[in-house]
Amino acid sequence: MRSSSWESYVSTPGRRAPTAVPDSGFRLLGVELARAAAPVLRRAEDALTDTTSWLALADPSAVIIYEWASSSRLKRELARADVGSGALLAETLVGVNGVGTALALRSATLVRGSEHANERWASLACAASPIVHPITRELMGVVNVTCLVEDENSHLRITLNSLVDGIQSELASRARSRHQRLLDAHLRVVQAATGPVATLDPFTMIVEDRFGAVPADRESLWALVEAAGAHATEVTLPTGQRIHMVPVSPGRITEGCSLIFGRSAAGTGVMSDPSRFRRERLGPLEIAEFDVITDALQRNGGNKVHTAQQLQISRGTLYERLRRYGIS
């Protein structure tokens, strides 16, 4: 019996158990875990075909994102106990169980028979362990191996340990590949750009910034990139500043994106004569004002009269700000 529940989780945004509280951070971690765990779980399925076993993977909120049962009997028993893909097994909500307790304790655990809070799980032995990313140390989720109590033996823990080692190895390998892909894309863009560059994905940001023009908040920048979409060519900051976008892979924003601040190789200017201005000396409000003025000047081709009108300030005020910030 094969299950494609992990594939559904990866490909269906916002998929949640009815009682789960949606969280985009847990969602991202769960997707990353599901993709890394897939080949390891497939191998385990083949090894456990002739046993009475149930494999499960849960995201950091204890929602089951993958399940596989080696026998129809066990599958029916779990279904009667409302355990399956999409089920929410947080210990605070459903009591002691393999997935929820391992998540609550942040350590491997074995829950047997009547130790389960739900009497419908009394026939089961559940070994589960949190999966911690070997590089970032983030809690990615939980992997679980279940069998009938009468079938429990030392192989339950051996199988669990093998799954944990295999999944963590895959996570490390994927992270190295992802970081290298981001770095390669970043260096390509930096070579062609004349302004600061930030290359980021949902988990990592690489910054080349001599003028302090790149906001340090990766999550906010990534949210703007996702909102813009894979085919956008620019993203607009809350200050009104427009930033040029270069996806790591054309048409696939999930693999990351480079953001070019300032003037790109194509000659799109945002900051005029940055050598005359040290951005790091300004406070947050002054930086925001600086960005708004330079962006407006760019849009108006340097015409100060039109810029003042667009910003709804007097020309005298505009000239004073230009002198204050050293904008030529």
Reference 117, options 161, 154, 83, 67; nearest CA is 83
Residue 45 near residue 5, CB atoms below 8 Å: no
CATH of 5-175, one of 3.20.20.70, 3.30.565.10, 3.30.450.40, 3.30.930.10: 3.30.450.40
Q: And the tokens for 103? A: 């998540």
> Measured between alpha carbons, how far is 15 from 20 in angstroms, rounded to an integer?
10
Q: And the tokens for 234? A: 């620019």
| Digit-coded pLDDT (tens) for 5-45 | 545 444 433 333 333 444 556 777 888 899 999 999 999 99
Residue 276 near residue 328, CB atoms below 8 Å: yes
Reference 239, options 186, 191, 293; nearest CA is 293
Helix (H) or strand (E) holding 199: strand 197-200
Q: Which residues pair with 238 in a beta bridge?
A: none
CB-based contacts of 272: which residues, under 8 Å, 6+ apart? 294, 297, 302, 327, 328
As to burial, measured by CB atoms within 10 angstroms (0-12 exposed, 13-18 middle, 19+ buried), residue 93 is exposed
Strand order in the sheet with 197-200: 205-208, 197-200, 252-260, 242-249, 234-236
What residue ranges of the chain are covered by domains with CATH 3.30.450.40?
5-175
Question: With pLDDT > 70 as the criterion, what percentage of the chain qualifies?
Answer: 84
| Digit-coded pLDDT (tens) for 170-210 | 999 988 888 898 999 899 888 887 778 899 998 889 988 76
| Digit-coded pLDDT (tens) for 53-101 | 999 999 999 999 999 999 888 888 888 888 888 999 999 999 999 999 9
Which pTM was predicted?
Answer: 0.60
Reference 118, options 104, 98, 102, 103; nearest CA is 98
**Three-state secondary structure call for residue 144:** strand
